[in-house]
Chain A
């Protein structure tokens, strides 16, 4: 039973390679594209042999796009900055609001607590466009449209339910006895939350934060409607590459590489942390 035949090992290797190729191909292809000019990308048949160029990246970073129709100004770096600001800001706000709320929902069952928690989750079900039209009007009245704060507020529709529901599960998994023990030891409820519940739920908070960050980063519709050019994140800004003279595949590829880099880096970093957190595993005694 413990012994695997050579055939089995070969087959397993082949299967694994196939799966990896299948999933990694688009990313690898885009990475390759980002180092090519539009001409080499579009030649037929396509080839993986080409002369690498950094022109796409140069264009993005300097903000000057050379197209067949002439030079075009694009604000890609500014968009990237907006994305970082909006995502970090909304996740931070969602954590500040959502984690204590998740704790409250996990620990205190009051009349209607389940309903409130579910209502918050149901924000995720509503089609964003449905919310957007009235929201645009309100925001204009309040002077919130086209402000970072306004956008971050709207982004809570994405981040808050996610954090609330994931983190709540983690809090529920902590044995109440552990918290009781700390309180009986002479500590206030806030001390218990801060010193016991938060550290023990940290893997969950990290996972929820990461997920919320990715969702926020990838959001398109809210920013499209509510933000003007100088507040747009990369998702909306990428529209600029669809120019009158054609689609700038090389620049798009480079933009994609640059825009997935932060989330990828974060995921890789957090993965290590998440595994560490999960292997703590002593939460349930």
Chain B
């Protein structure tokens, strides 16, 4: 499949090239046609700068951006054929929501009937049909955000850019709208890039997620792989809600077992056969490692390591349990209602398949479960 959007070694400097603030560092990525990609990171990670360079609001300091095979990074925004939903909505105040959403279609001189049909279609999708004739200032922030999303989605464009598209949405609508928007984009085969700091949004909508930090693209992969095969400790701990449990461990080998010594005299022990030889060797080749365990992968078992429950919180469809373990805190997620009182002793087990091992010095992944990273 051909790449519809390609970033080739893109750099962004604020100030002189080479000396100013290096906001985006040598980012290369390809977004395929019909794909939804999320740029995920905390504030200041470079994701918004990247988006703005693609949209054309920010000059590319070094590198190139191509859309559908043509270089666009020197074109003015209006000639890139890119639709965008802005974080601050940026609706035109003197126009009604209907006129706002239909604005680009009208400018493209589409027949009135077509414009009307498409506007009402997208309005129904976003649950704003009954407020279409109101002005932006008279509707709530969540409704403005939905109108702004609608204005971007309704357009025919080679690429749709969505900047924090759902941050202000009413919580009761979020899950439903996520489903509908994903269906809408997929059904029409649109290519979309969304920028967000909210991993729930990224996980829900994206086919692939680009995790950024410090201007560097940390990992660009499917949500499953980012969760199951994080490239480094940063991605591992950044993505995942609740976050991954992390412990430092000293690597040892006793009686044909791989032993990971944790603080407080605890140790995770695995039969040699648990891991394939290359994985075992990679772990044993290091003196110290950082192990990561996803909260849902921690099992309670009769013959596990001891931990003391510090909090057990039932949220209706999940129970989050925090336990004092190995000098730190361990979080477990269970899908049933667990009735545990603080102070209760539990025993926990980590299957070899759920164990993530990272290098203690550079944080790069060593192994995921029984496979090499």
Direct contact of A and B (CB under 8 A): yes
A1, B14: Cα distance in complex, Å: 10
Interface residues of A, CB < 8 Å — how many? 2
Distance to closest chain B CB from A16 (angstroms): 23
Interface residues in B1-52 (C-beta closer than 8 Å to A): 14-16, 20
**Is residue A2 within 8 Å, beta carbon to beta carbon, of the partner chain?**
yes
Residues of B close to A1: CB separation below 8 A: 59
Residues of B close to A2: CB separation below 8 A: 14-16, 20
When each residue 1-14 of chain A gets 1 if its CB lies under 8 Å from chain B and 0 otherwise, what string results?
11000000000000
**Which residue on B lies nearest to A3, using beta carbons?**
B16
Distance to closest chain A CB from B20 (angstroms): 8
Can you list 5 residue pairs at the A/B interface with Cβ under 8 Å?
A1-B59, A2-B14, A2-B15, A2-B16, A2-B20
**Which residue on B lies nearest to A2, using beta carbons?**
B15
A1, B58: Cα distance in complex, Å: 10
A2, B59: Cα distance in complex, Å: 11
A118, B59: Cα distance in complex, Å: 52
Distance to closest chain A CB from B23 (angstroms): 13
Distance to closest chain B CB from A2 (angstroms): 6
List of 5 A-B pairs having minimum Cβ-Cβ separation, nearest first: A2-B15, A1-B59, A2-B16, A2-B14, A2-B20
**Which residue on A lies nearest to B20, using beta carbons?**
A2
**Which residue on A lies nearest to B58, using beta carbons?**
A1
Distance to closest chain A CB from B29 (angstroms): 25
Distance to closest chain A CB from B277 (angstroms): 56
A1, B15: Cα distance in complex, Å: 9
Interface residues in A1-39 (C-beta closer than 8 Å to B): 1-2
Distance to closest chain A CB from B175 (angstroms): 32
A212, B14: Cα distance in complex, Å: 44
A2, B14: Cα distance in complex, Å: 8
Distance to closest chain A CB from B330 (angstroms): 34
A2, B16: Cα distance in complex, Å: 8
Distance to closest chain B CB from A5 (angstroms): 15
Distance to closest chain B CB from A237 (angstroms): 56
A51, B337: Cα distance in complex, Å: 97
Residues of A close to B14: CB separation below 8 A: 2
Distance to closest chain A CB from B56 (angstroms): 13
**Which residue on A lies nearest to B13, using beta carbons?**
A2
Distance to closest chain A CB from B204 (angstroms): 32
Distance to closest chain B CB from A205 (angstroms): 36
A1, B16: Cα distance in complex, Å: 11
Distance to closest chain B CB from A96 (angstroms): 45
**Which residue on B lies nearest to A1, using beta carbons?**
B59
Distance to closest chain B CB from A25 (angstroms): 38
Residues of A close to B20: CB separation below 8 A: 2
A1, B60: Cα distance in complex, Å: 12
Interface residues in B244-294 (C-beta closer than 8 Å to A): none
Distance to closest chain A CB from B351 (angstroms): 46
**Which residue on A lies nearest to B16, using beta carbons?**
A2
When each residue 39-57 of chain A gets 1 if its CB lies under 8 Å from chain B and 0 otherwise, what string results?
0000000000000000000
Residues of A close to B16: CB separation below 8 A: 2
